[in-house]
Structure 1
Amino acid sequence: MAHSSIVLKMEEQVHRHIKTRNLLSSGDRIVVAVSGGPDSVALLACLVALSTRWNWGLSIGHVNHGLRGAESEGDADFVEQLGSHFGVPVNVQEVRLKKQDAKLAKQSFQAFARKARYHALENMVMESGASKIATGHTADDQAETVLMWMLRGSGTGGLGGIPPKRGDFIVRPLLDIPRNDIMAYLAERQLTYRMDSSNSQPMYLRNRLRQDLMPHLKVYSPGIVHILSRQAEIIREDHAYLEHVAAKAFQQACVSEDERGIQLDRTVLLSWPMAIRRRVVRHGLQKIDGNMQSPRFDMIKRVLDGVEQGQSGWTMQINAVDVGQEYDRLVFSKRETIPLNNLSASPLREIGVESPGEIVWPPTGQRLAVAKQYDQTITSQPHSLMMNIDAA
């Protein structure tokens, strides 16, 4: 059966996107992540159509968290049928999650589930001997992601949005394709799909952006999806360059780096523009803390304010890192924590408190927010504590 211009156009767009961004190579064995939704079904159909040209070996990976009961089971059954329709083997893995585990990991449940899903897909790659995971992120997903990071006040790292490829395995062949084209492609090929009921729930920010904000933005700028996607690409490339420059600046400023910590030359650090200084400080904090998520902007600003004032002897705590200035050196060191079973033997220590402010409680490493309240009414808000503290 001859394909229509809609079908051929989209498949050629995907082919071009894969080739120009070097996402996949001839002969690759690919795990296609298929949820059963329209984007992933379109991705699978496109890759199957292009597989002869590229000599790919395809398999389908589906992760069932069971979060939506019968609906989740229906998704898994649908994906099995989809594999039979296209003649592609299917691997369905059940990964049950608990909300308590997400809380312990200090992540939203959505982020926790996403991480578990990618972990399961990477296991499929290892087990099957595949080389890539293809996901169905579209240009609309990119636009929504940029808006989310914009509303959070993100820097270039977040405003760069979703990269076309991440790590050794993950590629996103549909990232340049708007959702309208996806739906037209599915209709033309008479392909069915599943709808995730959680995608309509307003409790999630992305859903509210998709349902409420994006339609308003399209009134003012009909091409907003393309514009935000293009902006993400520009910022992502700028971010990569700035990170490259910052890595060189870090090496120039670094006086010592060992198990005791990191020391940076204050004068060398201040010789760089502010955009690079921020990145150098962030890099130092991340190397000591081991947490690759970026420290908040206000934390980095506090460190640089101290550096610019130039007075030796100041110290502060940023998460699990002690930061301070010793003469002309900016010093980062791992904050010592006392095991809970040793609390009774720990000596009393004096901790400086600013209000409003934030401190790290030495025995446990927990972060405590501190604020003054003059209202004598005692409230019973969860995770809150009121105490009387004498002024120094």
Structure 2
Amino acid sequence: MNQKVLETIRKYNLIVDGDKIVLGVSGGPDSICMLDNLREVKEEQIIEFEIYVAHINHMIREEAIDDEKYVQEYCKKYNIECFVKRADVQKIASEKKIGTEEAGRKVRYDFFEEVLQKTESNKIAIAHNKNDKIETIIMHLLRGSGLSGLKGIEPIRDNKYIRPLLECERTEIEQYCEDKKLNPRIDKTNFENEYTRNKIRNIVIPYIKKEFNPNIIQTLSRLSDLAADESNYIELQTQKAFEKILIAKEKEQITLNLKEFNKQDKVIKNRLILYTTKELMGSTQGIEKIHIEDIIKLCQNNVGNKFLTPNKNLKVLVKDKKIFFIKQNTYKN
């Protein structure tokens, strides 16, 4: 499996000489497998890079303190600097009026960024595997996602977040942990079917394997690769179109040429709206298909000054043959 991880690293250029990487490690099979593999790659000096470990104790499960100790003991054994944070995720979720899953994810990524700054690192490694990718694709399908959603989880994002295990299946990871006697921590909540992802993992995929396609993981992985190639090409064309129609880009506002926008193909228009929103806000969260369609209609029926507010943070104004994307409040991821 070490070779497979190394091939993934080289295929997507995930790690290069001089990188300093923060590894998100929960202590479960995936993350401890990732840590063990990257440690060996580092020790064998195949690539010259540094690693640090970041562990979040969500304070939800009684076993969480044992997970924390397990990660610390592994790091101590191999002289790896380990950063630990305890966060009452349920309390945070309640205060912010968001789901526990969302709160946990935000706490984790905020901490990873904190450790990234503290260690002057440039990348964050996340232990998503091929099964996680397929589960994500199915979730996107159920939500009516477009082509970009079929890509699932990408091996590298923003040239910072890397996923070295993305081409490894969960069974391979579990076998690796057994062979290496790593005795990873097991989160029993992964077997509970309270959340959508767990239902897909524990009910939907096993049913598809049994009744329709025993190779569904490989099949959807191929679909994902095809979708990624086509989506990435469209994204490249979108960037070119954006540069062509851009009038001004400021911190609080982006201005586009209305006439040139209306000349674009519908697919590119859709992507331009998302691309511009992300350039301005840092995310496309809260922008749905209906908002995109409304913005396109607004631009086509250019009579007088008109505007839309897809959400409380963004205003789209059509005025003087221009399209203004205006940031209304501080955007929260």
Pairwise TM-score range, normalised by the shorter structure: 0.7 to 0.9
1:272 aligns with 2:254: no
Q: Distance in 2 between matches of 1:129 and 1:260?
A: 29
* Percent of aligned pairs with the same amino acid: 27
Show CA shifts across 1:291-344 (max 9, x none).
5426100111122234345555554432244445457x253354879xxxxxxx
Q: Distance in 1 between matches of 2:253 and 2:80?
A: 52
Distance 1:304 1:47, change over 3 A: same
* 8 Å Cα contact 1:282-1:294 kept in structure 2: no
- The CA deviation at 1:37 is 0.7
State the partner residue of 2:243.
Answer: 251
Unaligned ranges ≥5, structure 1: 1-9, 338-392
State the partner residue of 1:60.
Answer: 53
1:75 aligns with 2:67: yes
1:298 aligns with 2:262: no
What SS does the aligned partner of 1:241 have?
helix
Distance 1:202 1:314, change over 3 A: same
Show CA shifts across 1:116-144 (max 9, x none).
21221232233234443322111001111
- The CA deviation at 1:43 is 1.3
What SS does the aligned partner of 2:63 have?
helix
* Count of residues in correspondence between the two structures: 323
Match of 1:173 among 157, 164, 167: 164
Residue type matched to 1:53 in 2?
Answer: Q
- The CA deviation at 1:29 is 3.8
Q: Distance in 1 between matches of 2:33 and 2:295?
A: 48
Residue type matched to 2:67 in 1?
Answer: D
Q: Distance in 1 between matches of 2:31 and 2:158?
A: 20
State the partner residue of 2:108.
Answer: 117
Q: Equivalences for 1:305-320 in 2 at 5 Å?
A: 305-309=297-301, 311-312=303-304, 314-320=306-312
What SS does the aligned partner of 1:148 have?
helix
Distance 1:291 1:33, change over 3 A: closer
RMSD after superposition: 2.8
Show CA shifts across 1:184-242 (max 9, x none).
11222222111112212222110000011111222322222122233223323332322
* 8 Å Cα contact 1:285-1:332 kept in structure 2: no
Residue type matched to 1:239 in 2?
Answer: S
Match of 1:204 among 181, 192, 195: 195
Which of 1 and 2 has greater Rg? 1
TM-score normalised by length of structure 2? 0.85
Match of 1:139 among 130, 133, 136: 130
Residue type matched to 1:81 in 2?
Answer: E
What SS does the aligned partner of 1:53 have?
coil
Q: Distance in 2 between matches of 1:183 and 1:310?
A: 58
Distance 1:189 1:325, change over 3 A: closer
- The CA deviation at 1:86 is 4.0
Distance 1:92 1:265, change over 3 A: closer
Distance 1:306 1:222, change over 3 A: same
Q: Distance in 2 between matches of 1:113 and 1:72?
A: 13
Q: Equivalences for 1:22-101 in 2 at 5 Å?
A: 22-26=13-17, 28-51=19-42, 52-54=44-46, 55-68=48-61, 70-97=62-89, 98-101=92-95
Structure with more relative contact order (C-alpha pairs < 8 Å, separation 6 or more): 2
Distance 1:281 1:312, change over 3 A: farther
Distance 1:43 1:332, change over 3 A: same
Q: Distance in 1 between matches of 2:240 and 2:163?
A: 30
TM-score normalised by length of structure 1? 0.73
Unaligned ranges ≥5, structure 2: none
What SS does the aligned partner of 1:317 have?
strand
Q: Equivalences for 1:339-358 in 2 at 5 Å?
A: none
